[in-house]
Amino acid sequence: MTASSDTILSVRGLRTEFKGDRGHVRVLDDVSFDVGRGKIVGLVGESGSGKSMTALSLMGLVPKPQGHVSASSILLDGTDISRLDAAGMRRIRGRDIAMVFQEPMTSLNPVRRVWEQVGEPLAIHKGLGRRAIRARVLEMFELVGIPEPKTRLDAYPHELSGGLRQRAMIAMGLICEPKLLIADEPTTALDVTTQAQILRLMRDLRDRVGTSIIMITHDLGIIAEMCDEVNVMYAGQMVEQADVFDLFERPSHPYTRGLLASIPRATEPRTARRMPSIPGMVPNLAKLPPGCRFSPRCGDVMPICQRAPDLVGIGSGHAARCWLHAPQDALPQEGTS
C-alpha cells in the first residue's frame, strides 16, 4: 500500500519499545498502513495486539523515558510527524490529529465543567476567549446530538450518562476540525442502543465534516458496519490488510479466519456446543515464539513457520503475513532447510 494524494495518513516502519528491568520490549514491530481522505479504517485484534499502543504512538502520548517510538516515516497530510519534537506534537495534537479515548469518565476531569474541557483545544490552538469557546461548544453539542445542549454545558462529567460523556468526548475531538480522528474502542461499556447511536453519529460526522477516522476495536461487527478498510493486528504486527468487503469475503490469515469464526451467528440454533474460539493466548511480547508469532495457536502451522514471514500482497489492496501466501521462490526447496 503506497501513499498518494488521496492519503491523509501514511505510516511506515512504526516501532515502539519499552525499557524494563529485563531489557527492551518491542510492543510494535514494523507497523505500516495508510488512511485515505474521508475514509474509516479499522484496527482490529485481541487485547494485547497493539491497537491502542499504535494510537498512542501516533499521538505522541507514549510515556517517556520508558517508551521510545521510531518510524521510517509518519506522514500526516504530507508532514512527517515522526520528526517533530514534543512542542511540535503539542501544536498538532487536537488541531490536526485528535483522539477519542476508550473510557470518557477517566478522560474527563471530574471537577471541571464539561464545556470548559470540550472547548480547551480552542483556547490552545485558536486563542479564543471564554465566550467564543462556549458558543462553539454549544454548536458542537448540537452537532453530536446531545439533548438540551444549553443545560448540559455547565454539567460536571458525573452528571452525564455514559453515552452523553462519549458524545462530549467526540465533540472535543472534532472541535478543531482535525484531519484525522482516532477512536479507541468508542463504544466500550455502553449499552447496545447507545453503542448503535454513537457509531451512527461517527459515520454521519465523517460524511458531514469529512474527517478521516481510525476505528480501534476488538469487535468485527463494528468493523463490518463502519469501516472501508481493515488492518488486523496480532502481537504488535499487522498480519492482514484488506478492503472490508474483501476481508470478510476472503479472509486469508489463519488468525483473521479464527476471529471471524468466533463471531456469534444470529441464524445459528442454540445448542449445547461451544462457540468456536482461537486456542491459547496472545504471546508475552518479552518471550515471543520463534518465527511466526501466531504459530503456537495456528491450525495450519508448517515447519517453515519457524521462520518469520513477511507481509506480502495477495491481491489488489490485500496483504497477509503468512507462509501460506508466500511466493514460491521465497519457500525453501526440497532437500534444503
Element (H, E) at 196: helix 192-209
Give the pLDDT confidence score for residue 328 in this predicted structure. 61
Which three cell numbers mark 320?
A: 497477509
For the whole model, what pTM was predicted? 0.90
Give yes or no for a contact between 50 and 184, defined as CB atoms under 8 angstroms apart: no
- Rounded CA gap, 9 and 20, in Å? 31
Give the pLDDT confidence score for residue 4 in this predicted structure. 59
pLDDT in tens, 178-205: 999 999 998 877 788 888 888 888 888 8
Give the pLDDT confidence score for residue 2 in this predicted structure. 44
Give the pLDDT confidence score for residue 337 in this predicted structure. 46
Give the pLDDT confidence score for residue 159 in this predicted structure. 95
- Rounded CA gap, 127 and 90, in Å? 14
- Provide the 8-state DSSP code for 93: B
Amino acid letter, 100: V
- Rounded CA gap, 141 and 172, in Å? 9
HSE (side-chain half, CA atoms, 13 Å) at 69: 24
Give the pLDDT confidence score for residue 208 in this predicted structure. 86
Give the pLDDT confidence score for residue 38 in this predicted structure. 94
Kindly give the parts of the chain with pLDDT less than 70. Answer: 1-4, 265-275, 328-337
| The CATH number of domain 1-83+219-264+277-337 is 3.40.50.1980 | no
- Rounded CA gap, 204 and 17, in Å? 36
Its sign, for the CA torsion 45, 48, 51, 54, is negative
